Structure 1
Amino acid sequence: MNVDIGNALAAEATPGVPRAALERLDDRVADAHDRIAAGMADGEFGYAALNLPERADADAIRAAVDPFEDSDVLLTVGIGGSALGAATLVDALDSDLDCYFLDNVDPEYVAALLDGLDLSSTAMHVVSRSGTTAETLANFLVVREAMTDAGVDWTDRTFVTTGRAGNLRELADEHALPALDAPEGAPGRFSVLSTVGLPAAALAGHDVDELLAGGRDGMDALAGSLFDCPAYAYGATAYALDVRGAGINAMMPYAESLETFAEWFAQLWAESLGKDGLGQTPARALGATDQHSQLQLYRAGPRDKLVTLLRPRDRDDHGVPDTDLSGLDYLAGGSLGDLLDAEFEATEASLAESGVPNVRIEIPAVDERSLGRLLFDVEAACVLAGELYGVETFTQPAVEWGKDAARGLLRGDQALREKTELVVD
């Protein structure tokens, strides 16, 4: 992964980071790297997630999905990190397998999706580390009932990823379901390169070994200076811009296949760094589509944004046919890829000309190895940023409060309901 932070320096952008400030910050990056390395070596909670490229068992993942190779559809039932990582992988990589994700409990959507699936050829992967996640288990029960009503033995079509204890583990043991262990010490949003995210890629026919090799490339690139490590360069620059006023980070990939990656990034960045009144708010955009919607705000609106531009250096291409339409001669002999690259570079130049800080991230291609490296490096960037902020990167107390409140409402906690209501007729 290549990271270019030149357009985020104070000489080019407002807000921007003075080069001297980055050099001073590098001493803190070195200390943070030592803390991260020690946490990885000791397998500490959260830091252990950065060991997953070395510790994930690709053979066990392939063995778990092997009974479902006859499937035409994979339905992943999970929420947050239990679904977004898998969705990122299968959306980025071409596949003949239709993959769907039940990561919400919207009853109309769930019913419509199940009505349109041939459940006899659908594999269901249920993912919950705790085995008690309300949304996941509710959706699982709905799908199980739908399979039974359709005359499908749900136990023949289901495998799980969960912790060593909990409702889901007990269910798997009772019905002899293939069961993968959720990785120890890795919060869900950091678990894409594990039994949480990789089974979807494996069943879709993608090279799990190469995904993990890309992650290991990222591990090998970790170093004690932001000037020597692309992941740390990005994390440190994002942090330094935030404390100077760029409190929004717009992730803008120039590849349709990486749109879900921007969703994954948004959860990782928000849930990890949004603590103690700190943290950069992630926004999602897609190049070139959102040049025609969001770019106006980024270029001419409040100076509170970092725009992260992401693209693959190599991609399949498609020529643009010649035309006799007036004014389109500049397209002659070109391709869609040429146009997309021109859009990318024009956006970058437009932001730079107006002094909006932006960072360019490039990967070799949207393939397994590059994707594994990208995912690992962004995780490492997030951990580094968390160290610089001084927050508890791997916890999510606000999320847990919301879960507890939802359970209370379902159990009839009227006082809580009244506290959350403000009705205007």
Structure 2
Amino acid sequence: MRLSLDRSRALPFLTDRDALDGAVLDAHGKVLTGGTRSPEMLGWRQMLLEPDDALIESVQNVASEIRERADVLVCVGIGGSYLGAEAVNQALAPYFGADSPEVIFAGHHLSPAYHEQLLAYLEGKSVYVNVISKSGTTLEPAMAFRFLRRFLEERFDDADRRVIATTDKSSGVLRGLADEKGYRTYVVPDDVGGRFSVLTPVGLLPIAAAGHDIRSLFYGAVGAARGLTDAGADHPALAYAGDRFAFHEAGYSVELMSVMEAKLRGLGYWWQQLYGESEGKEGKGLFPVTLQYTTDLHSVGQYVQEGKRLFVESFLRLDDEKAGLTLDEEPDNPDQLNDLAGTPYGAANKAAWEGTAEAHREGDVPSWTWTLPRIDADALGEAIYTFEHAVAVSGTMLGVDPFNQPGVEAYKKKMFRLLGRD
């Protein structure tokens, strides 16, 4: 396994942690064999054990058409319908000057200005739309898609060709509209929840359209899934799950995902949804929050260091200490940096991680460190599956159903009532 986990700053805060290994392996076994509370929702694992290469090829072919014909692909969806794709695209794209087509996300909030300005921005461009919704009735993407559908129909003779719907295989408002209009479609699998869907067409099409290698991404996850089949309690995914449960039972209430490389910030936000929706129910679960260091050390860093002791922390970093621009020595040392001559950005970032982790340990904040050897599709696929499997195990240990999200419906009911849609 290339993704590594350092537990040395977490274990000293736990008493008799090894006694939990049996419970960890029991929960792990339930994930493997369908003994969880919703065994019908384990498709996110099964699809990796039985890869569908024809589906991957189909997605690649549609993505190739989009790349040839479109200036912009607008992906319409909320929650798991966009966070995974956004995370992978952000991690794999250059910071500046990404290749065409530009992949833009919409329908993931209700900002009037954003969607109005989006339509203005699209004017004069060749546009494709990938609308992602199992039901088609979630308000945020449904509203955005109505405006985008009208935009396409008023400007392109082949408007219906430019829409790809990723939705239920046989029912729902969006499925009905897709059948009526003749949209090309991909299926949101019945046995894969939205937050686990990045390795289905939900995530694969936007990632492939951005020019990234979805086969390597998928098979990076395949390797991680197979590697966990006969894993022991010391496997990083299982050790992390067990540690998280132990901290939860010890009274900790918040887990920080502290990202040391800005390209991985989106992966942190994807993790935030994955863990929040999977564990946050029945009055249980660690509250997941993503921070970007060192930026957020200059905002909430004071609180993390000396505030109320709520936190356990996961650092997510890249093994790149020799990377980046290197400081040269300058005559007269005008900025007082000559003592760092020869230091690359990567070395400074590593020192920031080590210094922060040690300072937080001394401030009674336990932490793990996840280290990626590199940022590429294969490594991201491994990381995605590792975090998915870990939360399935930790949620099972908590006694909740890791695969439902009944609380998400509460705000929708109130919102619809206020809009007169009772």
Shared fold, TM over 0.5: yes
Equivalent-residue separation in structure 2 for 1:353 and 1:334 (angstroms) = 27
Relative distance call for 1:33 and 1:119 in structure 2 (3 A) is farther
Residue in 2 that maps onto 1:341? 350
Matched residues, percent identical?
A: 32
Equivalent-residue separation in structure 1 for 2:152 and 2:42 (angstroms) = 39
Equivalent-residue separation in structure 2 for 1:412 and 1:78 (angstroms) = 21
1:145 is aligned to 2:150: yes
User: C-alpha displacement at 1:38, in angstroms?
Assistant: 0.6
Equivalent-residue separation in structure 1 for 2:268 and 2:280 (angstroms) = 17
Residue in 2 that maps onto 1:80? 79
RMSD: 2.2
Equivalent-residue separation in structure 1 for 2:407 and 2:157 (angstroms) = 39
Equivalent-residue separation in structure 1 for 2:351 and 2:46 (angstroms) = 38
- Greater displacement, 235-244 / 45-54: 45-54
Residue in 2 that maps onto 1:295? 301
Q: Work out whether residues 85 and 204 of structure 2, in 8 Å CA contact, stay in contact via their aligned partners in 1.
A: yes
Q: How does 1:244-323 map to 2 (within 5 A)?
A: 244-314=250-320, 316-323=323-330
TM-score, with length taken from structure 1: 0.90
Residue in 2 that maps onto 1:17? 14
Residue in 2 that maps onto 1:197? 203
TM-score, with length taken from structure 2: 0.91
User: C-alpha displacement at 1:228, in angstroms?
Assistant: 2.8
Relative distance call for 1:171 and 1:119 in structure 2 (3 A) is farther
Residue in 1 that maps onto 2:168? 163
Among 96, 99, 109, the residue aligned to 2:103: 99
Residue in 1 that maps onto 2:33? 38
Among 123, 132, 136, the residue aligned to 2:141: 136
1:208 is aligned to 2:210: no
Equivalent-residue separation in structure 1 for 2:255 and 2:116 (angstroms) = 35
Relative distance call for 1:72 and 1:412 in structure 2 (3 A) is closer
Q: Work out whether residues 158 and 177 of structure 1, in 8 Å CA contact, stay in contact via their aligned partners in 2.
A: yes
User: C-alpha displacement at 1:151, in angstroms?
Assistant: 5.1
User: C-alpha displacement at 1:353, in angstroms?
Assistant: 2.3
Q: Deviations over 1:285-335 (max 9, x none)?
A: 002211222221111111110111011214852223433324212321121
User: C-alpha displacement at 1:389, in angstroms?
Assistant: 0.4
Residue in 2 that maps onto 1:125? 130
Equivalent-residue separation in structure 2 for 1:223 and 1:8 (angstroms) = 26
Q: Match for 1:51: what amino acid? A: Q
Residue in 2 that maps onto 1:8? 10
1:239 is aligned to 2:245: yes
Q: Work out whether residues 321 and 333 of structure 1, in 8 Å CA contact, stay in contact via their aligned partners in 2.
A: yes
Residue-pair matches, total: 406
Q: Work out whether residues 324 and 346 of structure 2, in 8 Å CA contact, stay in contact via their aligned partners in 1.
A: yes
- SS in structure 1 at match of 2:201: coil
- Greater displacement, 343-352 / 77-86: 343-352
User: C-alpha displacement at 1:87, in angstroms?
Assistant: 0.6
Residue in 1 that maps onto 2:61? 63
Relative distance call for 1:51 and 1:223 in structure 2 (3 A) is closer
- SS in structure 2 at match of 1:365: coil
Q: Work out whether residues 14 and 246 of structure 2, in 8 Å CA contact, stay in contact via their aligned partners in 1.
A: yes
Equivalent-residue separation in structure 1 for 2:387 and 2:213 (angstroms) = 21
- SS in structure 2 at match of 1:7: coil
Q: Match for 2:266: what amino acid? A: T
Equivalent-residue separation in structure 1 for 2:160 and 2:320 (angstroms) = 43
Q: Match for 2:72: what amino acid? A: V
Relative distance call for 1:226 and 1:359 in structure 2 (3 A) is farther
Q: Work out whether residues 40 and 50 of structure 1, in 8 Å CA contact, stay in contact via their aligned partners in 2.
A: no
- Greater displacement, 50-59 / 100-109: 50-59
